[in-house]
Each structure stands twice: as C-alpha cells, then as structure tokens.
Structure 1
Amino acid sequence: MNNEQSTQSVASQRERLGRIAYRFRQNPLSVLGLAIIIALVLVAVFAPVIAPSPRDAGYQGHPEVHFSEKYQSPSLEYLFGTDGAGRDIFSRTIFGLRLSLWIGVVVLTLAVLVGVPVGLIAGYVGGIPGSALMRITDVFLSVPPLVLALGVSVALKANLTNAMIAIAAVWWPWYARLTYGEVVAIKTEEFVEASRGIGASSFRTIFREILPNVIAPITVKISLDMGYAILVAAALGFIGLGAQPPTPELGTMVSQGRNNLPEVWWHSTFPGLAIFVTVLGFNFLGDGLRDMFDVEVQ
C-alpha cells in the first residue's frame, strides 16, 4: 500500500510539473526571457574568454589604457568602439554585465536573508511582536526606494560594497511584507494545525511546513526584482554613488560617456543597451514564472 501511494504521489508531482512547464511554454515572451538570461549568464561566466581585451576591463590587474586608440568608433577591431582611455568598450561591457549580475545576486540574497525571516516570524507569531516588526517594515516601505538607496549611499562611502548594502536596505521590506501575507494566509491551514497538534516546535512548523509553501511567490519576486536591482545599481553608479572608475560597471560607463554625446555616442549607448536587455530579460522571465506558478506578487 505504501509503495502504491508513493507511486501515485510521484505521478501526481510529475503531472503537476508538466502542467507548470506547459503554462510557461505557452508564453513566448517568457521563453524569450529565459533564453536572454541564459545567454547573459553564459557571457558573464565566460567573460575572460569572450572579451577580446579582458585587461582593458581590469581582469587580473588594473585596467590598461591605450591613449593612442581613444575614441575609436565601432569597427571590426573594436566592435563597440573605445573610450577616452583607448579601452575596448565591448570587453568592458561584458565585464560590466558580469558585475551587474553579481550585484543583483548579492543584493537579493541579502534582502531575502533579512526579509523572509522577518515576515515568517511576524506572520506566525502575530500579536504585538508581529505588529512591531511589520511597523518597522512599513517605515522602510514608506520611503521611495531610490530615495532610500541614495540616502544610505550618501551616508556611507561611495563604493560598490556600500552601494549593494544600500540597495539591499531598500529591498528587504518587500520580502518581509510578501512573506508576512503568505504566512498569515497559510498558518490556519489544516497541515499547519496538524503539525502543532503532534507537538512540533514552532521552528519546525515554520521552516518545514510553512516556508516550503511560500517559496513560489518568493521565487517569482526574485526573478522580477533582479532587473530592478540591477537598474538601481546602475542609477547609483551613474550619479557616482556606486562602483567607482575605472571599474567596468554599466551605469558608471553610461555616465562617463554622456559628457561626449552625441559625437562619441557608442560610449554610453552599448552599456545602456546591455542594461536594457538585462532588465527586459528578467522582466519577461518573471512574468512567465508568475503565470507558471499562478501567484500574485507586489
């Protein structure tokens, strides 16, 4: 009997996964988003191999300069042209993409590690402790994200590490709010009551029964937020509060190139397009995951 039940459970899981995958494939933009993200990740991983001049991006040392080659327009030799120091913009854009993806991963990891436990505890415990945690969360949510990120960045020294901390400070409340709402809806379900009934600890109930059931909306939100986190990081770099030159960060590169527009249009255009494609890919993918799991996130 146990073997039969196990077989039925496996078959049910396979059927459910098949339906989820089918819903995802039915949305062409979702598939396009997944393809874009896979391509960008591969480019980032193999950046030292793909980039024709990795040393121009500071790979294994300080970025090299070639003033005799400065402001070369796009050509077969320099696909994206060169900047004011004669560095290959194509190579720097590839490494800038690599850095942007890394920023997104670090920021959202920090946001999830802070926000999800806060939401789990506030939703499960409730009462005065839960209300206090959510009021603190609401204080952060009441400030526009970019304004809060700017405030934290200004308070700290302008560099890449502090920029990531500033963006994480913006993002964790959204995960706390999302998790809180899901926990409040789930904690009265029968399987949670059954866990309490058999004497399971609160820790076990939260992390073994409740958390697995909020993974789907959290995953969808992460996929949607990756693009926005990268965009905010680029905005901080653009105004000089993020990664500092000569680090090949996309927002910083756009900012450096704006002073020579429109003559040296390629300096800002290609890093800007890299930001655009990255954000677009994650938005398409996030929309697909939202439809696939049939969840709503803010």
Structure 2
Amino acid sequence: MSQDTTTASRFEKRREDFDRVAYRFRQNPMSIAGLAIIVALLLIAVFAPWIAPYPQDAGYQREPAVHFDEKFQSPSLTHLFGTDQAGRDILSRVLFGTRLSLQIGAVVLAGAVAIGVPVGLVAGYMGGALGMTLMRITDIFLSVPPLVLALGVSVALEPSLTNAMIAIAIVWWPWYARLTYGEVISVKEETFVEASRGVGASSLRTVFYEILPNVLAPITVKMSLDMGYAILVASALGFLGLGAQPPIPEWGTMVSQGRGYLPAQWWYSTFPGLAIFVTVLGFNFLGDGLRDMFDVEVQ
C-alpha cells in the first residue's frame, strides 16, 4: 500500500470519528443549549465595551463614574437592571463582569492543569516511590474541602482578585493530578506504548507523543465542567470579601454589596446572581455534552 493511500485512509478514519462524536453531541439538546450560552458569554465578554449602555460605570480599567443623583433606580428602559448605591448602571457592570469571570475561570484552570497534569503524568508513568509520594501529596490536598482550602489560602494572602485566582488554582490542581494519574495507569500498558518503548523511544517522547494525546479527552471534559465551578468559587470568595475588591465589577462582590439593601433594592443582588447561575449552567450543559461525545467518565 502506498504512502498516499495510507494517509488518505487515516484521514477518512479521523473524519468518521469526528462525524460520530459530533452526532452524539447534536443528539443532546442540553449540549446545544450549553454551547449557545457559552458562545453568547464569549461574545458579551469581547464586545462589552460596545454593548454596555454605560461603559464608564463599569470601572474595568479605571475608577467607575458615580451618579449619586441616580442611585437605587429600579429597572427601567433607561437602566434595564437598575442602578446601585452610587448610581452606576448594573447592566453595564454585569456585562463587564462576564469578561472578568471568564478570565478568572481560564486563568484558574490553566494554572490547575499546568500543575496537576504533569504531576499525574510523572506519577502514573514512573510509578514506584516517586509516584506514590506524588499521589500521597495529592491526597492530602484532596482531603480538605475545596472551598475551605480556598478560604484558608485567601485569608493567608491579601484579599485581591489575583490572590483569589492563586487560591483557587491551588485547590483545583489535585483533581487533575488524580484524573491524569488514573488515565495514564490505564494507557501505559497498551500495545502502542509498548511498541514505542520497543523501538527505543525515550520516556519523554513516549509520554508526550503516545500517552498524553490519549488522556486529553477526559481532561478536556473536566475542564469544561470545572470552568463554571471555578467561577462559582471565585464569586463565593468575592461574596465573602476575600476575592475581587470594590469597585471591580465582579459578580460575587456585587451580590455581596447588594445583600445589605435587600429586599427594597432587590435588583442589585438579583441580576449578578442570575449571571452566575446562567454561566455555571451553561458550562455544565456543555461539559455533559462533551462527556457524552467523547464517551468518557470524569471524577
């Protein structure tokens, strides 16, 4: 068989695999709904400066404007989500908060994957005393409830958005280490890995060219599921005053500020809270769809 024929055959197989998994994704209505929500959130994050009716009220890159003569206006055509105690438009702040929340989730998961996946790869492939030691360290972190550990790290550090992201990444990496470890254990004895060793490939090449590509699917699914939870934990830290600090338009911080004015000014906390709810729901739907599409199980 010629090389061109072999290449065409591989391409055809990959296309059939893609068509099969895409069909699974389309068969799940919640997956489509989740994808639509996430695409909408991404568009809002990108175009927030242009679609926010009062971008100067968001204070994303500078101090927000204040309009004390317009404070606590209820939802209306002028201010669809109402205004806060400083007369700032809540809709504009929620829209800019979308950009901030997605940034938090992306940074947290990037940090967690950057730590957890290499730890799991080394522990699973090398095994022995090194693998056992790395997994016991991982188990120590996993033994503490995630929110409690994040609170402890945040209290130890100065409350800020950056420190909140560091705290959540410290909480999250052990889950990726454990997941990667389990996947590597199940893959490293497969025939194609043995063949790679048999032709004299180095351990580094075997891990990154043979094992890692075959464990990316469950890692990707877990990342899609965890994105919403990372945003939720960041919002919880902001709500408790240990995350983003006012006047940064972070949803959890806005909910915390608005609770002091309930129930009279109900809109202050309600709309940022709904934004958190929709975002977490969207990532959960998308993650469930990806899990069905790749036919994998994640912890």
Whether TM-score is above 0.5 comes out as yes
Moved over 2 A (4+): none
Runs (5+) with no aligned partner, structure 1: none
User: C-alpha separation between the residues in 2 aligned to 1:82 and 1:155?
Assistant: 34
**Alpha-carbon displacement from aligned partner over 1:118-168 (angstroms, at most 9, x marks no partner):** 000000000000000000000000000000000000000000000000000
**Alpha-carbon displacement from aligned partner over 1:11-60 (angstroms, at most 9, x marks no partner):** 11101100000000000000000000000110011110010111111144
Give the alignment of 1:1-298 within 5 angstroms.
1-298=2-299
**Alpha-carbon displacement from aligned partner over 1:182-218 (angstroms, at most 9, x marks no partner):** 0000000111111111111111111111000011000
1:5 Cα deviation after fit: 1.4
CA contact (8 A) 2:60 2:248 kept: no
User: C-alpha separation between the residues in 1 aligned to 2:244 and 2:29?
Assistant: 35
What is the root-mean-square deviation of aligned Cα atoms in Å?
0.6
1:3 Cα deviation after fit: 1.2
CA contact (8 A) 1:158 1:243 kept: yes
* 2:107 alignment partner AA: V
Aligned pairs, number: 298
CA contact (8 A) 1:48 1:54 kept: yes
* 2:189 alignment partner AA: T
| TM-score, scaled to structure 2 | 0.99
> Identity across aligned pairs (percent)?
75
1:8 Cα deviation after fit: 1.1
CA contact (8 A) 2:60 2:249 kept: no
Runs (5+) with no aligned partner, structure 2: none
SS at match of 2:261: coil
CA contact (8 A) 1:48 1:59 kept: no
